[in-house]
Structure 1
Amino acid sequence: MSLQTRHDTELDINTEGNHTGLKARIKAFVDHRYFMATIMVLILINAIIVGIETYPHMYDAYGQWLHVADRVLLWLFTLEIILRLITAIPTWHYFKDPWNIFDFLIVASGHLFVGAHFVTVLRILRVLRLLRAISIIPSLRRIVNALLMTIPALGNIMLLLSLLFYIFAVIGTMLFGDIAPDHFGSLHATLLTLFQVVTLESWASGVMRPLLDQSPFAWMYFVSFILVGTFVIFNLFVGVIVSNVEKVDELEEEKEKAARKAVEINKQSPGDLTEQKQEMREKGQNEEASLNVEINALREELREIKALLREQQRGSK
């Protein structure tokens, strides 16, 4: 290898090391709790600005300043996304997390929809920036992930609830259609009434008690529906959600343990890793030696057994 080639190789290695060190420093900065707290404060300021814009007299008086503040916040969020893209190795790994995709789309849309034609769209997008708090706060992210995990399981519960609603709606229309046509005059009106009942909103004073004068046994219909619909079905909803929250917490704990273990391994010096490898080799050699000793002992026992068998055969002859 020529001196020029060796010099170029050393320069490439040093440049790669500098880039790696710079990414590590940026990642430490981005993952720092003060940086996360700063982003959370910016999200809250964005929420305050969006709220002020709903008051016409405030918007007329400070509209220009609010617009400037909104653009500053947008570019600060853009800088945050850029820093996170830089720390991702490789860069496209940033988009493996669905929450990162959500953050990217919310921030990028603020740059794409520009102009008087998109005023309403921009206001809606500024409101949606508040949802970035979910990706910033781990506890909120766990809850949302658990809710998303419950969607397949909730399908069966929703089917059961739909059957329950339909059965009671048909029965209610048949029983009370003539007595209370406003609440039970048709199937869709009865379904709407049952939705009110299952939410426990004025179901006794507004729906059931007016029927008791003409149908004394109406309470059986409503009590049975509330017991099954509210206390059983909705508790199933809660149970599924709580179970998935626990699963998400366990997954997050496993990820944190794996991340801490990776950090500990990265902190170890090459000498420590070499010593660990040497210890593993010595341990393997010791185990191999002990196995060889046991195998030799078994061979000796087999020889002795064969010798005894031969003597017995000679004695029998």
Structure 2
Amino acid sequence: MLLIFMFACIGVQLFKGRLYACSDISKTTEAECKGEYVEFEDNTFNKPVLRERSWQNNDFNYDTVHGAMLSLFVVATFEGWPSLLYKSIDSWSEDHGPKYMARSGVSLFYIAYIIVIAFFMMNIFVGFVIVTFQEQGEMEYKNCELDKNQRQCLEYALKAKPIPRYMPSNPWQYRVWLVVNSPYFEYFMLGLILLNTLFQHDQQIPNLTTLLGYLNVVFTTLFTIEMVFKMVAFKPKHYFQDPWNTFDFIVVVGSIADLFADSKDNNLSIKVSFFRLFRVLRLVKLLSRGEGIRTLLWTFVKSIRALPYVAMLILLLFFIYGVVGMQMFGTIQPLETTMINENNNFKSFFQSMLLLFRCMTGEAWQEIMLASVAEHKEKQRLFDTYIAKKFSCGSNFAYVYFISFYMFCAFLIINLFVAVIMDNFDYLTRDWSILGPHHLDEFARIWAEYDHDAKATARLWPTLSTQSS
């Protein structure tokens, strides 16, 4: 805030009274901006309208310190700041309208402000939110002797159950079981998935379409053979106990339906493009491979648990601001020339929530704020009409309303998502030599290779003897 105040004082010295312009662009000074002029509506010469000239200030200006701070706050949000930049460059002197590229050097003011405030200070604020979030998370366990890693490992151990590993007794079935469990078979199938993905193409020549059709049949046949082999090796009961096998089964069935839909052309009521999604879904299986990908997935799973709490906080904030917005701005007359229009207003609770969600993303939030202010120049001409139709022109409370909402959402609550993700990701990648709960899934899988009956015991002496020999 102090830095913004300092930049605002500099902005007042540079641009005070210099962002005015005449409504008639042919006039460049306040003395010339008198009388009336003809304006053509909708850029057509068939609709001439006689209007009175007025000497108008820019919506965001530097005439006062608080006005300059508002303008700089909008610049820090990266919304509409190029327009203010170019108007500042064209500013010439007080009581004088814009002059093209009159002071190009003032662009350094905006560049310095964005680097210092938007790039550095805003990110420092995000870091402060993350550090505070982590400290508050540890405060709950300040009297516990176990650290975070030990607590999560203990929680995992208490909830974990042994994984039964099926091994067939039939000799022929055992041979198939060895094949489907070998790493070479797995690498071969992953290679097929990548090849099948590479052969997806759009707007191709007819000959290539025919070739890819045959290749799709080949790939689907190979994936079906893989499914059959695994069913023979594990038997259906044990096959469907693995979620990845169930996923493979769904993808194969969908791929077969895709072939059937292609053979029937467009005679089916269900679109063929729906079944083609199953070809792409084969790539999901690649997510289970690779240490880095597993770390990202674990981070996502751990972070998604905190999502309901942050979402409830956002919904509470939206509800409060939505109700206040309906009371304060619900009677504003929608105008197509402003951001409060038929599609973007506070007339109903649902529309208020949509408008607030748009403001949270930062999309033209400052224009919505200006359209909700009573002094908006578009409303002055229609003031008498508003009174007759019981519409309001808005309220200056819009400044407090929208700025506070944007600060709460964009700078604070949304960064809670970042704080949760950073906390989990930093914990997972802090020291690879420290075992954590994200390693225990791999441990349970390897343990199951020596504990086929899931008795929570394993005889390691024969294995160690074999390895030592």
Both proteins in one fold, TM over 0.5: yes
Give the letter aligned to residue 227 of structure 1: M
Give, in angstroms, the shift of residue 221 of structure 1: 1.1
Aligned to 1:71: 217
State whether residues 23 and 87 of structure 1, in contact with CA within 8 Å, keep that contact through their aligned partners in structure 2: yes
Aligned to 2:408: 228
Give the direction of change, closer, same or farther, for the CA distance of 1:112–1:271 in structure 2 (3 Å limit): closer
Identity of counterpart residues, as a percentage?
A: 27
> In the aligned structure 1, how far is the partner of 2:185 from the partner of 2:206?
39
- Does 2:275 correspond to 1:125? yes
Give the letter aligned to residue 103 of structure 1: D
Which secondary structure does the structure 2 equivalent of 1:137 belong to?
Answer: helix
- Does 2:402 correspond to 1:257? no
Aligned to 2:3: none
- Pairwise mapping of residues 1-317 of structure 1 onto structure 2 (< 5 A)? 16=170, 19-29=173-183, 32=186, 34-46=187-199, 48-49=200-201, 52=202, 55=203, 58=204, 62-88=208-234, 91-112=236-257, 114-115=260-261, 116=264, 117-118=267-268, 120-138=270-288, 140=293, 143=296, 147=300, 153-179=306-332, 181=334, 182=341, 183-187=344-348, 188-204=350-366, 206-212=367-373, 213-214=375-376, 215-240=395-420, 250-260=436-446, 269=462, 272=465
> In the aligned structure 1, how far is the partner of 2:189 from the partner of 2:243?
19
Give the direction of change, closer, same or farther, for the CA distance of 1:272–1:87 in structure 2 (3 Å limit): same
> In the aligned structure 2, how far is the partner of 1:31 from the partner of 1:140?
21
State whether residues 150 and 240 of structure 1, in contact with CA within 8 Å, keep that contact through their aligned partners in structure 2: yes
Using structure 1 for the length normalisation, give the TM-score: 0.62
Aligned to 2:338: none
Give, in angstroms, the shift of residue 77 of structure 1: 2.0
State whether residues 255 and 278 of structure 2, in contact with CA within 8 Å, keep that contact through their aligned partners in structure 1: no
The one-character-per-residue Cα deviations of 1:143-183 (angstroms, maximum 9, x if unpaired) are 55665666664333333322211211121122223446323
Query: How many residues in Structure 1 have an aligned counterpart in Structure 2?
Result: 250
State whether residues 345 and 355 of structure 2, in contact with CA within 8 Å, keep that contact through their aligned partners in structure 1: yes
The one-character-per-residue Cα deviations of 1:30-85 (angstroms, maximum 9, x if unpaired) are 555x4254133234225x23xx1xx3xx3656443332222222112222323443
> In the aligned structure 2, how far is the partner of 1:266 from the partner of 1:44?
43
State whether residues 230 and 239 of structure 2, in contact with CA within 8 Å, keep that contact through their aligned partners in structure 1: yes
State whether residues 173 and 185 of structure 1, in contact with CA within 8 Å, keep that contact through their aligned partners in structure 2: yes
> In the aligned structure 2, how far is the partner of 1:122 from the partner of 1:251?
43
Give, in angstroms, the shift of residue 185 of structure 1: 3.9
Which secondary structure does the structure 2 equivalent of 1:96 belong to?
Answer: coil
Give, in angstroms, the shift of residue 207 of structure 1: 1.4
Give the direction of change, closer, same or farther, for the CA distance of 1:145–1:210 in structure 2 (3 Å limit): same
Aligned to 2:156: none
Give, in angstroms, the shift of residue 17 of structure 1: 5.1
State whether residues 330 and 345 of structure 2, in contact with CA within 8 Å, keep that contact through their aligned partners in structure 1: yes
Larger radius of gyration: 1
Give the direction of change, closer, same or farther, for the CA distance of 1:63–1:109 in structure 2 (3 Å limit): same
> In the aligned structure 2, how far is the partner of 1:74 from the partner of 1:198?
45
> In the aligned structure 2, how far is the partner of 1:271 from the partner of 1:191?
64
Which secondary structure does the structure 1 equivalent of 2:276 belong to?
Answer: helix
State whether residues 27 and 87 of structure 1, in contact with CA within 8 Å, keep that contact through their aligned partners in structure 2: no
> In the aligned structure 1, how far is the partner of 2:238 from the partner of 2:438?
19
State whether residues 84 and 94 of structure 1, in contact with CA within 8 Å, keep that contact through their aligned partners in structure 2: yes
State whether residues 360 and 409 of structure 2, in contact with CA within 8 Å, keep that contact through their aligned partners in structure 1: yes
